[in-house]
Structure 1
Amino acid sequence: MNDRRRTIALVDDDPRILESLGELLESSGYLVRAYPSAKTVINAGLCNVDCLITDIGMAEVDGFELHGLVKSVRPDLPVFLITGRHVMGDQQRALARGVSGFFHKPFDGPALLAAVDDALCPHGGSNAEFHCKS
């Protein structure tokens, strides 16, 4: 039996989100690697990462671009998008790209945790429900 804690890569350019979401995930037993930009997570690599949670609105490489880059090298890696912006079409764009979940800030922490838990379920199951809090 593998007792390795699941590792979540968390990417957001807002240090308050990195801290608060990191604490939420760690309190649920996950190991969190926090990154302030897409470039930093790309440079660090995605080895031994079980899930990626990324903000959409970041400079240089946004969350949609990061999702595309990640899926080209790790197609089975669950990717969740979070956003503080309310741009029409972001949710549909995310759904069309096959993200594991989409959450508007401020989001429901237990709903995000449930979606991540479902995506990492060792027994397969269906994809995590597509979440969105308006």
Structure 2
Amino acid sequence: MSKRRPVVAVVDDDPRLLESLEDLLESAGYIARGFSSAGSLVISGLSDVDVLITDIGMPGMDGFELRDLVKRARPNLPVFLITGRHELADQYRAKGISGFFRKPFDGQALLVAVGDALRNQETEG
């Protein structure tokens, strides 16, 4: 009985960061699906996504709006927010997320947080 590899969706409008996050997640055994905008993730759908990592500051729908949309559709989906803008990191708006990372962030710390969120999902589900 083989378990399927978890799918981690990454949304960021910075193509370099998107590619490096995809590489990091793939190297850790996850299936990484990158999206350059929140809208492209929404169009693609969330049904097979196990974890969402999204930038906050993006044109169009920002990371907070995406989190709110995702939480309505999939309330138990772990969501991690990343940002390069420290003023966006206020505690009130960061509620309803599994973790928060400021750029530049430690990739290993992100992998540990994703792994913990997936393990917590398994024990709750």
Same fold by TM (over 0.5)?
Answer: yes
Distance 1:47 1:17 in 2: 24
- Greater helix share, structure number: 2
Local SS of the residue matching 1:32: strand
Number of matched pairs: 123
Local SS of the residue matching 2:92: helix
* Partner in structure 1 of residue 118 of structure 2: 120
Instruction: Using structure 1 for the length normalisation, give the TM-score.
Output: 0.87
* Partner in structure 1 of residue 60 of structure 2: 60
Distance 1:74 1:123 in 2: 15
* One-letter amino acid matched to 1:47: S
* Partner in structure 2 of residue 12 of structure 1: 12
- Mapping of residues 94-109 of structure 1, within 5 Å: 94-95=93-94, 97-109=95-107
TM-fit CA distance, 1:109: 0.7
RMSD: 1.5
Structure 1 residue runs of 4 or more that deviate by more than 6 Å after TM superposition: none
Alpha-carbon deviations, 1:86-118, whole Å to 9, x = none? 11x6240344x2200000000011111000000
Structure 1 residues not aligned, in runs of 5+: 126-134
Distance 1:93 1:6 in 2: 29
Structure 2 residues not aligned, in runs of 5+: none
Instruction: Using structure 2 for the length normalisation, give the TM-score.
Output: 0.93
Identity of matched residues, %? 59
TM-fit CA distance, 1:2: 4.5
